[in-house]
Structure 1
Amino acid sequence: MIDAVDYQLIAAVQHGLPITARPYAAIAAQLGIGETEVIERLQVLRQLGLIKRWGVVVKHRQLGYQANAMIVLDVPDQQVEALGRQISSYAFINLCYQRPRQGERWPYNLYCMIHGKSRDTVLQQWAELVTGCGLGGFGKEILFSRRCFKQRGAVYQSAAQQLEPAHG
């Protein structure tokens, strides 16, 4: 079971670790606990599946990945799980998730993203996906981004705000 300190720890690390020789010590000082306790709590949060992984966030557009496409698919509900897993197995797929359909005007229920350096590369990868996953018979659209107004990782709470456990 997690406690208030765990919620504060999640808030402290959600934007990344401080760039310092001992980042866990810096977080510990911020929270008023020991460095070892920070590490142990993070290990428990990872074991519980509340922290999936540690990683670096790369701004893909600034690295030349300008062709970004969201692919939307109208897949029979009984095939979503299998196709979602199959699509996710392709290295060029960055995200893949299911969402509810929104009636006849927007019948799509499976979404995925491809980030590429060129539109042609993304279209080739899309063709590979259609063939490899047998998507030819499904309703589908490929939607290329025109402009990015904002993109960031998920933020669950401000550093000053303590997230309370959900009730219910």
Structure 2
Amino acid sequence: MALDDFDRALIAAVQSGLPLVARPYEAVGAMLGVDGERVRARLAAMLDEGLVRRIGAVPNHYRLGFTANGMSVWDVADDQVDTLARQVAQLTGVSHCYRRTRHLPEWPYNLFAMLHGRSQGEVQRQADVVAALLGPACRAHDILYSTAILKKTGLRLKGTNDVQD
């Protein structure tokens, strides 16, 4: 995608994250010599154009005290997984919930839900809530606990006219 000079400057200003201030668009605008509304409008347009997939907070769960993070994986009946996944996604403690293709016979799981807690026991209690919600539609599940923090990055300038995510 070709970017103009303002787009490049805007991406460079926000690629490490928005400033943690009450009015982040105004703060970015001040760095770029424009008002915050222009920053907000252009970022919204980038979302609409598909240049940016989302704008949101990416918390460091470990620094917030949530040191037990487990990807719970579920083997849910295909005819019910979409409806149940929407319900699981609304549960407290679930930050990500999505359907994936099974890879039988090794990997029977088709529903993934990231659970966060201050202990593995807390994550297990959340998984018990998910299991109760899924009921007999769930044939099996497991929890895969995080062992390392992966670096999360957003949109980055790659070349003179291209971007990567």
Same fold, TM-score > 0.5, yes or no = yes
- Answer yes or no: is the 8 Å Cα contact 1:67–1:118 preserved in 2: yes
The structure-2 alpha-carbon separation of the partners of 1:89 and 1:144, relative to structure 1 and needing over 3 Å to count, comes to: same
Query: Tell me, what secondary structure is at the counterpart of 1:100?
Result: coil
The superposition leaves residues 83-126 of structure 1 with CA deviations (integer Å, 9 ceiling, x where unpaired) of 21011010211111122212211121111111100111111111
| Structure 2 counterpart of 1:103 | 104
Q: 1:4 — aligned with what?
A: 3
The answer for the alignment partner of 2:71 in structure 1 is: 70
Which residue in the other structure is 2:139 paired with? 138
Q: Aligned partners of 2:154 and 2:160: how far apart in 1? A: 12
1:11 CA displacement: 5.5
Distance 1:135 1:7, change over 3 A: farther
Identity, in percent, stands at 31
Return structure 1 stretches of 4+ with deviation > 4 angstroms.
18-21, 46-51
| Structure 1 residues 19 and 139, CA gap change in structure 2 (3 angstroms) | closer
8 Å contact kept, 2:16–2:153: no
Cα distance in structure 1, aligned partners of 2:160 and 2:123 = 41
Which residue type is aligned with residue 75 of structure 1?
V
Residue type at the aligned position of 2:30: A
Counterpart in the other structure of 1:23 = 28
Alpha-carbon distance in structure 1 between the residues aligned to 2:98 and 2:153: 16
Structure-2 residue corresponding to 1:87: 88
Question: Where in structure 2 are the equivalents of 1:121-136 lying within 5 Å?
Answer: 121-134=122-135
Question: For residues 14 and 100 of structure 1, do their structure 2 counterparts lie closer, same or farther at Cα, with a shift above 3 Å needed?
Answer: farther
Q: 2:61, 2:88 → 1: CA distance?
A: 21
Alpha-carbon RMSD: 3.1
- For the residue of structure 2 that corresponds to 1:43, the secondary structure is helix
> Structure 1 regions of 5+ residues with no counterpart?
none
TM-score calculated relative to the size of structure 1: 0.73
The 1:19–1:80 alpha-carbon spacing in structure 2 relative to 1, beyond 3 Å, is: closer
Q: Which ranges of structure 2 fall in alignment gaps of 5 or more residues?
A: none
AA partner of residue 82 (structure 1): T
Q: Does the 8 A contact of 1:72 with 1:109 survive in 2?
A: yes
TM (norm. structure 2) is 0.74
Give the aligned residue type for 1:25.
A
Q: How many residues align?
A: 156
Take 2:140 and 2:160, find their aligned partners in 1: how far apart are those partners?
A: 44
